[in-house]
Amino acid sequence: MTQLALVIDLNVCVGCHACVTSCKQWNTSGQAGPLFDDNPYAQDPTGTFFNRVQTFEVGEFPCTETIHFPKSCLHCEEAPCVPVCPTGASYKRAEDGIVLVDYDKCIGCKYCSWACPYGAREFDENQKVMKKCTLCVDRIYDMTIPAERRKPACVIACPTNARLFGDVHDPESEVSIAIREAGGYPLMPEWGTKPANHYLPRRKTKLRIHEDELVRADNPLRKEDIRHETGKDVTLDDWLM
């Protein structure tokens, strides 16, 4: 069983939105037709995006840390949006675990978006169907694209390499190793949705040094101190010490 997913390294993400724009560019140019864009160059622009970068602040000034947080569909293994769909338009592919919407079957009732705790689905007001991240399914299997570029548009666009793409069910894949060795975690695990996408936490390289390691408390010379009385007779040792 394959489960394709993204692993996003929050330690590396600089919040540049390159993944947002490249995602929009690729997915608005595909066979499914353009993504909704209302007033793109006027007041109150709004539109459908599959990917957003948000910014959070952790702590209180002056001890704060800024976290740039890219958010897209997590392609949950127990996707709650799929069983609620009344038409079967929302489905999870058995072969690679990608959660997709069949735009020709969707009736636009929005029930799936209510059933997603992450807000990963965005309605297309022009086509009147629900849309979401496809993991660039029209790109990753396209044999006309060079093999090394058969990855989601956001992964290729990321200038800091914060986004990894691969099969999280293969224990030796790049993403599985990253999750395992760099503390990858899923979002809102309390809902039991088992998100396939994982996030790598902010990491700081620190070395813990105990005082004992700086000041030698257990001098072996003292341990092996043999300056004890060996006899009543005066020996050579007494003259040496």
Partner 1 sequence: MNPAFSVIVLTTLIGVGQGLFLALFSSQAFTIVKVLPNQPNSYYALGGVIALCFLAGGLVASFFHLGHPERAWRAASQWRTSWLSREVIALPAVMGLVFLYALVNGVGLDANLYGWGLPDQVALTVGALGVAATLTLFLCTGMIYGAIKFLQEWATPLTVVNYFLLGSASGFTFAAAYAAFAAPKMVAFYAGWAITLTVVAFFTRAAALFRNARIKRVATVQTAIGVRHAKVQQRSMGFMGGSYNTREYFHGRTVLFLKSVKWIFLVLVFAVPVALLWAGWAGGHPAALMAAFAVQYVGLLFERWFFFAQASHPQNLYYQVVG
Residue 25 near partner 1 by CB under 8 A: no
Closer to partner 1 by Cβ: residue 105 or 222: 105
Cα separation of 7 and 174, whole Å? Answer: 9
Give me the least distance between CB of 62 and partner 1, in Å please: 13
Structure tokens at 93: 């592919």
* Residue 196: HSE in the Cβ half-sphere, 13 Å Cα cutoff: 28
Among the listed residues 13, 76, 101, 116, the single contact to partner 1 using CB under 8 A:
116
Q: Kind and range of the H or E element at 239? A: helix 236-240
- Applying CB under 8 A, what is the total number of residues that bind partner 1? 62
Cα separation of 197 and 21, whole Å? Answer: 20
Cα separation of 82 and 195, whole Å? Answer: 13
Which residues are CB-contacts of 108 (< 8 A; sequence separation ≥ 6)?
123, 128, 129, 130
Among the listed residues 122, 155, 163, 197, the single contact to partner 1 using CB under 8 A:
122
Structure tokens at 128: 């009147």
Q: Which range, of 26-34, 120-128, 141-149, 208-216, touches partner 1 by CB under 8 A?
A: 120-128
Q: Which of 118, 139, 127 is nearest to 75 (CA)?
A: 118
Among the listed residues 4, 23, 74, 89, the single contact to partner 1 using CB under 8 A:
89
Query: Which parts of 27-46 interact with partner 1 (CB under 8 A)?
Result: 39, 44-46
Residue 50 near partner 1 by CB under 8 A: no
Residue 171 near partner 1 by CB under 8 A: no
Closer to partner 1 by Cβ: residue 37 or 170: 37
Among the listed residues 26, 49, 50, 165, the single contact to partner 1 using CB under 8 A:
49
Say if CB 198 and CB 30 are below 8 A apart. no
By CB under 8 A, name the binding residues for partner 1: 17, 20, 39, 44-49, 52-60, 66-67, 69, 71, 80, 82-89, 105-111, 113-119, 121-123, 125, 127-129, 185-191, 199, 201-202
